[in-house]
Amino acid sequence: MSKDPIKMVDIGEKDVVFRSAQAIGFIKLSQKTINEIINGTIAKGDPLTVAEIACIQAVKKTPDLIPLCHNIPISNVDVNFIILEDGVEVRCQVNSYYKTGVEMEALTGVSIALVTIWDMVKYLEKNSEGQYPATYINDIHVLEKKKGVV
């Protein structure tokens, strides 16, 4: 265990440059749920629209959620969904001109978008005991990171 004090990394001397990160993740859903998403018949409304808003909010709130994460001026958030036969893939790209990267923001955005989708469709995914035997979130990772290249 480290005896050093916990502290933010000092980025004061670093140059401001373009930073970009794209994260990806997946939620496994039943075919019935996928069909209802496609048909626009989810009881709470369109889960992808709500998840897009949640993703953007999560990106902006990342330093409030991760204790030693810097507050970064976000210049753009781009959220994309791919509906697959067995679930939904979420991609979040975050851009900034700053002194440190935006990987945590992209990962947080994807994570919250996936949890939001689950929340909106959970009534379809539960079994008779109220459990989620086939629903899961996985493969959340940074797909790409760029620094200094526009």
Which one from 10, 86, 119, 139 is the annotated catalytic residue? 119
In 3D space, the residue among 133, 26, 132, 44 whose CA is nearest the CA of residue 88 turns out to be: 26
Q: How far apart are CA 58 and CA 105, in angstroms?
A: 7
Q: State the DSSP code for 148.
A: S
In 3D space, the residue among 65, 141, 73, 75 whose CA is nearest the CA of residue 106 turns out to be: 141
User: Is 10 annotated as catalytic?
Assistant: no
Q: Is 61 exposed, middle or buried (0-12, 13-18, 19+ CB in 10 A)?
A: middle
Handedness of CA 28, 30, 36, 42 (dihedral sign): negative
User: Where in the sequence numbering do the catalytic residues fall?
Assistant: 119
